[in-house]
Every structure is written in C-alpha cells, then in structure tokens.
Amino acid sequence: MYFRDMYFTVDNYEKAVKKIIDFVKADSRVDNKVALYGMSYGGYLATRSACFLNKDIYGLIVRGGCSQTDQLTKHSWMGIPNFYLNGFKLKFNEYDDEKASEISTQMNTEPYLKNITIPTLIIHSN
C-alpha cells in the first residue's frame, strides 16, 4: 500500500472490502459465501467491515483486535506511550501526532456492532 500511495481513511477500508467481496463472489467456485478474518488491527478492520457489510458476508472471525482504534494507538507497550500510534500514522499518511490521534478517536465500531448478525468467532486470550 505504501509504495502505491494508498492509505486508510476513517471509512475507506470497508468500501475496498466490499469491492473485494463482489469480485470474489463473481467467481462461480465460491458459491456466494464469503467470510472475513482479521487479526490484531486487522481484527478491528474486519469487524468494522462486518458492521457495514453484514448482508454481504456469511461469517466473521476475529483474532485479537478491538472495537476502538484508540484501544491500540493510545496503549503503551514496553513503557513507550502511544507506541502503536507510529504504525497508525504510516497507514493513514498523517504524521502529526495530534491529527493522527483525532483520526484514531473517530475510528470506533461500538455504535455499529449491533449490525452484525452473522456467525462470529472471537479468538482472544491474555
């Protein structure tokens, strides 16, 4: 993505996933059944996509992840505050900490989780 100047915005990921789902479903070998799988930040992205594409998919599998991006980007790791914000900034092509933090705060699936009615498997451990 980085080498092609393709970056995330608050709502462009699920739009891209919709195009991929439509492409895969057009293949007669798939039988119109597609599930989403995501791990870590991909777990957030798969869940967000399922909130808006529930009718287009047959299942959701999430390993790790979160319901709000802030739960990752504002989390310290190895004593480094906001450790994951640096990777977030790269994905969003936003290098100002304050602006990246504002974008991160906007990325919250909690109001939309009720839209997911498909079978869902959440794999998580401490």
41-76: pLDDT as tens digits: 889 999 999 999 999 999 999 998 788 888 888 888
For the four alpha carbons of 115, 45, 39 and 76, in that order, the dihedral sign comes to negative
Can you tell me the mean pLDDT for 6-31? 89
Domain ranges of the chain: 1-66+117-126, 68-108
At residue 30, the pLDDT reads 83
Residue 47, both tokens? 């869940």
pLDDT band at 6 (very low <50, low <70, confident <90, very high): confident
- The one-letter code for the residue type at 20 is I
- Helical ranges in the chain per DSSP H: 12-25, 41-53, 70-73, 85-92, 97-106
Give every strand in the sheet of 120-123, ordered side by side. Answer: 35-39, 59-63, 120-123
Q: What is the pTM of this model?
A: 0.84
**Res. 125: pLDDT tops 80:** no
Distance of CA 99 to the CA centre of its chain: 19
At residue 2, the pLDDT reads 67
pLDDT band at 126 (very low <50, low <70, confident <90, very high): low
